[in-house]
């Protein structure tokens, strides 16, 4: 931390301690959002922040909770600065806690700079629209929900679904065509179990990506209140790597549901008026200040791509956490319990998943000229097949027409060949598109309405066109 | 001058503020952060800060500016990109780089640029409020008409043609011995509607190039509409389509609390796309107001009012203006957040109880008017507001309060989005009360509009009823007549209502083309019914090459369409009649 203030403002008059909040008598010169040390009677120090300052009182939010604070011996010391993260290129390969302090036993970071953890909003006029395709090697993502640099694309999962394995596969396989580039991974574990956190670490070790990773770990047993700062610390490190070190940064935030729970807990401690399901009314804005730090900037080499992972309570996509996230992020990858039960890996729900930045990242020169058409047609045909599957459960497959039966088979094959993929199988985007074409050859050619005739001639496997 | 008494997030309470007025703009602290007084209590002023309050201290100074939140109006607005307080974002990039620093000022209008002013009145003319005194060619599309600002009238003493900055005097106006100087620029407080001579009923079609809107649920110039839709329903794409192709003189796009990447995508694409009418770049008829979701919440509240005030100013020049607000839900949430901090008694779902009245104070500023002053002219502001209902549940307060005000609803449907039917405007739940208002317009362009529209909507309605039966008994168990109806309904959905925003030709569909397309499908239905009567099965009709040709109609350009459609009709009559002959 810097030594900007010569005097330290100190106060002993703590009036109230409850939950994670302290109410102390006002001291002149305290800044809004200033960092505070709370010294307990036994000498232990906790970090806090002034979240409401006034002439009558100051409200302090204490990271780590107010346990063991007493109203007589505890002291509050104002540090004269706001919450900052010391940053340096040496952070790569290191582990930190939710407050940005090293927890791997290594030496402290010799900072190149101290950065404000809340960041500053990007000027929309300075942003560069994301357009570089990231090849994840996963057909459902590359083919139907392409990810581009600078995008924020969450994984909506449910308890027990393999979101961690999918995220790990993306981390292992993601590349940008024809470019080595400087790449960094920022990983923030927010309130997840120790086992989950170590799963990721083990996966990274295997690929040698660990040296390019900055990890911020707040496990389920760490202080709840630090879950608020964990993603901000991670994104501040990402800001530094992307905008000052010209790196392409992928940020994985898991699990954002725990973040939102912490936000709700804090909000109720502050006795704020709750909005839907007890979450605070500003949750949209709060999440936006995290996710909107993704992007590309004109005149800058680097980029920040964010992939948050969240578990939908009770698989409910209309729950405020996935709902507000979906309104901010540029699409979502939704996992399906149904596909999981069928034993399909990756169980990605094709209909609910969406990438809003896809159209910018695909096409000639980026993936292949037929990509958009193939995407539209796969979607339409699979959708028709699923609709017929639904009907056939009531009336029986036998009562369907011949044409309809073809679509029914198409849907099954599509799940078996296109959606299904090995956990360590990396498919080139061309291979993904070719799989789709081989599936199209089952359908009557005149049904390929969404594909321009030119591509049908160019890519449709010859001689095995389906029966009408 | 007062001082800070309390800070809690964007809420600042200042003491010793006697003499301030509600909605006055203040500058807070050393950095001079912009804030707005929302309430007074004795010597204390309740201020909402439009910038991040990080680092403010109790006792820091708070200075009143004596003016209320206003916009600058004059040449240089068109093509600009502003934040929620009308700061020029391009200037901010130059001043403070890629990130928005606090307290940095950026004027809305360039003070150095010279504009060529040509008077349209002469010395000795007697002018009232709103009269046009001259013009400035602002962009390749927009001629900026300089008007006598509200509060002024009299006799022109002097007026000169020449090149002026927005601050230089171009005319002297004398009233009862007092001479006022007129410049190219005027100011207007954002929360106050600009005056007009008389309000008129909305009339004429706001052609959008989107078939489902223009043909099925038309919007009239001066109308107000809402587009509610859950996430992923293509709301933003639909709004961008409107901003691109709506046949108005000027479009204003307010991105209120939405995504930064999408905003940059809009800004970027408008620098390349051309207006179908004039062939000029679209950015020459657009104004952007961008307050993305990570920018200060309070400025979100202002951004919508900034947008509508600018819209009214161009309306007063006699233009038809479209204002797109994406999204009014974020705007309402900003009010909720401030209401919560002010410890106001909440209404439904925590929203303030004045939500409904605040929404109407915005939407009611839409309309067609007879403008003040000479020459006589009409102008209009059409408002389209996006609503983002939580969980796509339309029963929530913002949607419901909006529906009480607007006269057209385009409801976006998650299940259509899941089928990738775009635009996802649901034809069963959407409505427009402007069908009478646009009747005359359509009669001039395509007189069959009313009949074909009703017939098509009826088929789609019947399809929805049949769908329920199909779910029970399967499609094969239906009588042939119903099967044909399902086929035609499907053609209406896929070949008419569905429209690709990214297809070069299909993105903008001229109203005449839309009319001819639907007529083609109806003609097909007629011929196919005759075939059914002569014993041909739907299975065979479905495999007719005509079905395929109709599905490719979208790709025919607007210019060639009339001729191509006639060819298609002829071919259809031969083809389908030949089939008939073959069987007989």
- Give the model's confidence band at B169: pLDDT under 50 very low, under 70 low, under 90 confident, else very high: very high
Question: Which of A82, A102, A135 is the last residue before a domain boundary?
Answer: A82
The pair of three-digit structure tokens given for residue B48, joined into one six-digit string: 């909402």
pLDDT band at A18 (very low <50, low <70, confident <90, very high): confident
pLDDT in tens, A337-360: 999 999 999 999 999 999 989 988
Interface test with B, best of A125, A276, A321, A445 (most B CBs within 10 A): A125
Query: Based on the domain organization, do A203 and A250 belong to the same domain?
Result: yes
Cβ count within 10 A of residue B104: 14
Residue A29 domain-assigned? yes
Statement to judge: residues A196 and A332 lie in one domain: yes
Domains within chain B, CATH numbers bracketed: 2-69 (2.40.30.20), 115-184 (2.40.50.100), 206-435 (3.40.50.300), 445-578 (1.10.1140.10)
Determine the Cα–Cα distance for residues A99 and B42; give it in Å rounded to an integer.
42
Is A153 in contact with A332 (CB distance < 8 Å)?
A: yes
User: What pLDDT does residue B270 have?
Assistant: 85
β-sheet bridge partners, residue B178? B175
Confidence of residue A201 (pLDDT cuts 50, 70, 90): confident
Task: Decide if A350 is inside a domain.
Answer: yes
Q: Please give the structure tokens belonging to residue B200.
A: 């008129």
Could you tell me the pLDDT band of residue B72, with boundaries at 50, 70 and 90? very high
Three-state SS for chain A is CCCCCCCCEEECCEEEEECCEEEEECCCCCECCEEEEEECCCCCEEEEEEEEEECCEEEEEECCCCCCCCCCCCEEEEEEEECEEEECHHHCCCEECCCCCECCCCCCCCCCEEEECCCCCECHHHECCCCCEEECCCHHHHHHCCEECCCECCEEECCCCCHHHHHHHHHHHCEECCECCCEEEEEEEEEECHHHHHHHHHHHHHHCHHHHEEEEEEECCCCCCHHHHHHHHHHHHHHHHHHHCCCEEEEEEECHHHHHHHHHHHHHHCCCCECHHHCECCHHHHHHHHHCCCEEECCCCCEEEEEEEEECHHHCCCCHHHHHHHHHCCEEEEECHHHHHCCCCCCECCCCCEECCHHHHCCCCCCCCCHHHHHHHHHHHHHHHHHHHHHHHHHCHHHCCHHHHHHHHHHHHHHHHHHCCCCCCCCCHHHHHHHHHHHHCCCCHHHCCCCCHHHHHHHCCCCCCCCC
What letter does residue B554 receive in the DSSP assignment?
G
H or E segment to which residue B85 belongs:
none
Q: What does the pLDDT read at residue B334?
A: 87
Flag whether A327 is in a domain: yes
**Cβ <8 Å between A55 and B5:** yes
Question: Taking CB atoms and an 8 Å limit, are B264 and A404 in contact across chains?
Answer: no
Q: Do A292 and B260 touch (CB under 8 A)?
A: yes
Name the more confident of A186 and B327.
A186
Q: Is the pLDDT of residue A444 over 80?
A: yes
φ, ψ for residue B426 (rounded to 5)? -75, 125
Q: What percent of chain B is predicted at pLDDT more than 90?
A: 69
Q: Are residues A209 and A355 in the same domain?
A: yes
Mean pLDDT of A19-28: 86
- Average pLDDT score over chain A: 89
pLDDT tier at A275 (50, 70, 90 boundaries)? confident
Distances (CA, A) of B256 to B298, B329, B425: 11, 9, 22
The Cβ of residue B343 has, within 10 Å, a number of other Cβ atoms equal to 11
The answer to whether residue A60 scores a pLDDT higher than 80 is yes
Q: Are residues A404 and A267 both part of a single domain?
A: no
- What's the half-sphere exposure (Cβ side, CA atoms, 13 Å) at A191? 20
Complex prediction ipTM: 0.87
Cross-chain CB nearest to B474 (options A295, A357, A391): A391
Cα A261 to Cα A254, A257, A321, B7, B288: the distances in Å are 13, 6, 9, 26, 36
Same domain, A78 and A89: no
Asked if pLDDT for residue B81 goes beyond 60, the answer is yes
Mean pLDDT on A118-134: 92
What's the N-to-C CA distance of chain A in angstroms? 73
Look at B99 and A120 and tell me if their CB atoms are within 8 Å: yes
A465 falls within a domain: no
As a whole number, mean pLDDT of residues A106-128 equals 92
User: Do A351 and A424 share a structural domain?
Assistant: no
Mean pLDDT of A226-245: 95
Please give the tally of structural domains in chain A: 3
In a shared domain, residues A293 and A387: no
Pair B326, B256: CB distance under 8 Å:
yes
pTM of the model: 0.91
User: What distance in Å separates residue B28's CA from the closest CA in chain A?
Assistant: 13
pLDDT (0 to 100) of residue A181 = 66
What DSSP element (H or E) covers B62? strand B61-68
| pLDDT on residue B580 | 54
* Distance from the Cα of residue B387 to its chain's centroid: 12
Residue B519 pLDDT > 90:
yes
Q: Which residue has better confidence, A141 or B344?
A: A141
Separation in Å, CA of B233 to nearest CA in chain A: 10
**Beta partners for A304?**
A249, A295
Residue at A467 is within a domain: no
Strand-pair category, A303-311 with A155-157: parallel
Q: Judge: B294–A318 Cβ closer than 8 Å, yes or no.
A: no
* B117/B234: higher pLDDT: B117
Using an 8 Å CB-CB cutoff, list chain A residues near B421: none
CB contact under 8 A, A468 and B295: no
Indicate the Cα dihedral angle B255, B257, B258, B264, nearest 10°: 60
Residues B52 and B102 sit within 8 Å (Cβ to Cβ): yes
Name residues whose C-beta falls within 8 Å of residue B357's C-beta, 6 or more positions apart in sequence. Answer: none
- Residue B261 to residue A275, Cβ atoms within 8 A: no
> Which CATH number characterizes residue A30's domain?
2.40.10.170
Q: Which of A123, A291, A361, A453 to mutate to test the interface with B (most CBs of B within 10 A)?
A: A123
Contact B3, B27 (CB under 8 A): no
Please give the distance of CA B295 from its chain centroid, rounded to a whole number.
Answer: 21
Q: Is A466 part of a structural domain of the chain?
A: no
Classify residue A168 by burial, with Cβ atoms within 10 Å: 0-12, 13-18, 19+: buried
3-state secondary structure of B402: helix
What token pair was written down for A131? 């357009």
Q: Do B98 and A122 touch (CB under 8 A)?
A: yes
Measured in angstroms, the CA of B277 and the nearest CA of chain A are apart by 26
Determine, for residues A288 and B294 on separate chains, whether the beta-carbon distance falls below 8 Å.
yes
pLDDT per residue as tens digits for the range B470-491: 888 888 889 999 999 999 999 9
Specify whether A324 is located in the same domain as A394: no
Confidence of residue A151 (pLDDT cuts 50, 70, 90): very high
* Alpha helices, H only, B85-220: 89-96, 211
In this structure, what token pair is assigned to residue B271? Answer: 């620098």
In the three-class reduction of DSSP (H, G, I as helix; E, B as strand; rest coil), residue B380 is classed as strand
Token pair for B173: 């106006």
CB contact under 8 A, B473 and A26: no
Give CA B481 to chain center in angstroms: 42
Residue A464 Cα, gap to closest chain B Cα (Å): 20
Q: How many Cβ atoms sit within 10 Å of the Cβ of residue B332? A: 28
Q: Is residue A464 part of a domain?
A: no
Contact B57 A320 (CB under 8 A): no
Domain co-membership, A381 together with A251:
no
Residues on chain B touching A149 (C-beta within 8 angstroms): none
- Looking at A361, A389, A409, which one is the last position of a domain? A361
- Regarding whether A338 and A245 lie in a shared domain, the answer is yes
At which residue do the structure tokens 């993260």 appear?
A: A85
Q: Are residues A201 and A349 in the same domain?
A: yes
Q: Which residues from A are below 8 Å from B267, CB to CB? A: 124-125
Residue in A55, A331, A383 closest to B419 by CB: A383
CB contact under 8 A, A359 and B476: no
Q: Above 60 in pLDDT, residue A7?
A: no
- Considering only CB atoms, A326 lies closest to which of B231, B296, B349, namely B231
The C-alpha torsion from B432 through B436 and B440 to B445, rounded to 10°, is 30
Composition of chain B by helix, strand, coil, percent to 5: 35, 25, 40
Boundary of a domain, candidates A16, A51, A82: A82
pLDDT in tens, B218-229: 999 999 999 999
Question: Is residue A318 assigned to a domain?
Answer: yes
* Count of A-B CB contacts under 8 Å: 230
> In whole angstroms, what is the distance from residue A423 CA to residue B199 CA?
65
Regarding whether A268 and A139 lie in a shared domain, the answer is yes
Residues of B in contact with A319 (CB under 8 A): 391
Q: Which whole number is the average pLDDT over B541-559?
A: 89
Rounded to 10 deg, the angle between the B511-533 and B561-583 helix axes is 0
Best probe of the B interface among A25, A124, A390, by most B CBs < 10 A, is: A124
The residue of chain A with its CA nearest to that of B345 is A273
**What local confidence, expressed as pLDDT, does residue A4 receive?**
44
Is residue A63 scored above 90 in pLDDT?
A: no
Task: Work out the number of other CB atoms within 10 angstroms of the CB of residue B551.
Answer: 15
CB contact under 8 A, A298 and B7: no
Exposed / middle / buried, residue B150 (Cβ in 10 Å: 0-12, 13-18, 19+): middle
Task: From B354, B359, B331, B356, select the one nearest B342 (Cα to Cα).
Answer: B354
Considering chain A, what percentage of its residues have pLDDT values greater than 70?
96
Q: Determine, for residues B98 and A285 on separate chains, whether the beta-carbon distance falls below 8 Å.
A: no
pLDDT at A179 over 70: no
Residue position matching structure tokens 């020169």: A365
Closest residue of chain A to B548, computed from CA coordinates? A446
For range B98-122, the mean pLDDT:
92
Domain of A246, in residue numbers: 85-361
CATH classification at residue A231: 3.40.50.12240
């Amino acid at each position: 931390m810097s030594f900007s203030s010569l005097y330290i403002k100190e106060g002993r008059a703590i009036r109230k301690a409850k939950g994670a909040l302290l109410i102390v008598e006002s001291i002149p010169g305290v800044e809004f959002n200033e960092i505070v040390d709370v010294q307990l009677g036994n000498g232990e120090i906790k970090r806090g922040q002034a979240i409401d300052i006034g002439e009558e009182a100051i409200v302090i939010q204490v990271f780590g909770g107010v346990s063991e604070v007493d109203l007589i011996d505890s002291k509050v010391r104002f540090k004269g600065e706001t919450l900052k993260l010391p940053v340096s290129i040496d952070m790569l390969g290191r582990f930190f806690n939710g407050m940005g302090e090293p927890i791997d036993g290594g030496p402290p970071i010799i900072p190149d700079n101290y950065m404000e953890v809340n960041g500053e909003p990007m000027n929309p006029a300075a942003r560069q629209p994301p357009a570089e395709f990231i090849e994840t090697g996963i057909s459902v993502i590359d083919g139907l929900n392409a990810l581009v640099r600078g995008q924020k694309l969450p994984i909506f999962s449910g308890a027990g679904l393999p979101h961690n394995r999918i995220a790990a596969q993306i981390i292992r396989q993601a590349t940008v065509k024809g470019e080595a580039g400087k790449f960094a991974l920022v990983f923030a574990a927010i309130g997840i179990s120790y086992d989950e956190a170590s799963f990721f670490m083990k996966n990274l070790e295997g690929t040698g990506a660990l040296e390019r990773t900055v990890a911020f770990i707040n496990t389920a047993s760490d202080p709840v209140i630090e879950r608020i700062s964990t993603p901000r610390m991670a994104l501040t490190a990402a800001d530094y790597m992307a905008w000052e070190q010209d790196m392409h940064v992928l940020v994985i935030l898991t699990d954002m549901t725990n973040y939102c729970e912490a936000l709700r807990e804090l909000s109720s401690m502050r006795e704020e008026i709750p909005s839907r399901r007890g979450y605070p009314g500003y949750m949209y804005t709060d999440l936006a200040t995290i996710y909107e730090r993704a992007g590309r900037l004109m005149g800058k080499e680097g980029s920040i791509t964010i992939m948050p992972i969240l578990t939908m309570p009770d698989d409910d996509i209309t729950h405020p956490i996935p709902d507000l996230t979906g309104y901010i992020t540029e699409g979502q990858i939704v996992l399906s319990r149904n596909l999981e039960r069928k034993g399909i890996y990756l169980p990605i729900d094709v209909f609910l998943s969406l990438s809003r930045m896809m159209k910018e990242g695909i096409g000639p020169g980026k993936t292949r000229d037929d990509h958009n058409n193939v995407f539209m047609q796969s979607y339409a045909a699979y959708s028709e097949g699923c609709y017929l599957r639904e009907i056939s459960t009531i009336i029986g497959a036998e009562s369907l027409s011949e044409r309809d039966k073809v679509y029914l088979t198409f849907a099954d094959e599509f799940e078996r060949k296109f959606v299904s993929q090995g956990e360590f199988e990396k498919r080139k985007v061309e291979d993904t598109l070719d799989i789709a074409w081989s599936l199209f050859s089952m359908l009557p050619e005149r049904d390929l309405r969404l594909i321009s005739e030119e591509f049908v001639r160019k890519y449709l496997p010859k001689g095995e066109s389906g029966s009408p | 001058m007062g001082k800070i008494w309390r800070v809690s997030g964007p809420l600042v309470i200042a003491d010793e503020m006697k003499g301030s007025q509600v909605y006055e703009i203040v500058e807070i602290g050393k950095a001079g952060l912009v804030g707005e007084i929302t309430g007074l209590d004795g010597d204390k002023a309740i201020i909402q800060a439009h910038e991040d309050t990080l680092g403010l201290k109790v006792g820091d100074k708070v200075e009143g500016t004596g003016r209320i939140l206003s916009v600058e109006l004059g040449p240089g607005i068109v093509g600009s990109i502003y934040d929620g307080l009308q700061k020029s974002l391009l200037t901010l990039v130059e001043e403070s780089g890629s990130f928005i620093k606090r307290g940095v000022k950026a004027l809305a209008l360039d003070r150095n640029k010279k504009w060529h002013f040509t008077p349209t009145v002469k010395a000795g003319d007697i002018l009232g409020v709103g009269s046009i005194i001259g013009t400035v060619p602002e962009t390749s599309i927009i001629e900026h008409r300089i008007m006598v600002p509200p509060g002024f009238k009299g006799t022109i003493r002097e007026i000169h043609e020449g090149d002026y900055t927005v601050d230089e005097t171009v005319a002297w106006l004398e009233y009862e011995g007092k001479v006022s100087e007129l410049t190219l620029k005027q100011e207007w407080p954002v929360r106050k509607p600009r005056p007009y001579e008389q309000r008129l009923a909305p009339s004429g079609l706001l052609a959008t190039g989107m078939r489902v809107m223009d043909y099925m649920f038309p919007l009239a110039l001066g109308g107000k509409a809402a587009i509610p839709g859950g996430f992923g329903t293509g709301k933003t794409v639909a709004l961008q389509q409107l901003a691109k192709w709506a046949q108005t003189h000027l479009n204003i796009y307010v991105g209120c609390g939405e995504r930064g990447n999408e905003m940059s995508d809009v800004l970027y694409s408008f620098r390349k796309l051309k207006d179908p009418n004039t062939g000029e770049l679209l950015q020459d008829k657009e104004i952007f107001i961008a307050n993305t979701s990570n920018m200060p919440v309070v400025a979100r509240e202002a951004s919508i009012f900034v947008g509508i005030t600018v819209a009214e100013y161009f309306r007063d020049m006699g233009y038809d203006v479209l204002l797109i607000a994406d999204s009014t839900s974020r705007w309402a949430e900003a009010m909720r957040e401030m209401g919560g901090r002010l410890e106001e008694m909440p209404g439904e779902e925590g929203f303030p109880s004045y939500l409904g009245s605040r929404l109407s104070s915005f939407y009611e500023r839409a309309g067609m008017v007879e403008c003040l002053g000479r020459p006589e002219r009409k102008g209009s502001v059409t408002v389209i507001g996006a609503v983002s209902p939580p969980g796509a549940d339309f029963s929530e307060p913002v949607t419901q309060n909006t529906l009480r005000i607007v006269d057209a609803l385009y409801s976006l449907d998650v299940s259509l989005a899941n089928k990738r039917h775009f635009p996802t405007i649901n034809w069963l739940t959407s409505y427009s009360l402007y069908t009478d208002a646009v009747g005359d317009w359509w009669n001039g362009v395509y007189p069959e509009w009313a009949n074909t529209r009703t017939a098509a909507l009826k088929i789609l309605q019947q399809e929805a009823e049949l769908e329920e039966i199909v779910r029970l008994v399967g499609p094969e168990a239906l009588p042939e007549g119903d099967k044909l109806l399902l086929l035609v309904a499907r053609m209406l959905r896929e070949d008419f209502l569905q429209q690709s925003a990214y297809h070069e030709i299909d993105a903008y569909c001229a109203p005449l083309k839309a009319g001819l397309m639907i007529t083609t499908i109806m003609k097909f239905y007629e011929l196919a019914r005759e075939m059914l009567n002569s014993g041909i099965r739907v299975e065979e009709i479905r495999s007719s090459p005509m079905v395929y040709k109709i599905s490719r109609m979208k790709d025919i350009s607007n210019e060639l369409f009339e001729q191509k459609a006639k060819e298609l009709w002829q071919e259809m009559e031969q083809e389908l009649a030949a089939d008939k002959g073959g069987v007989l």
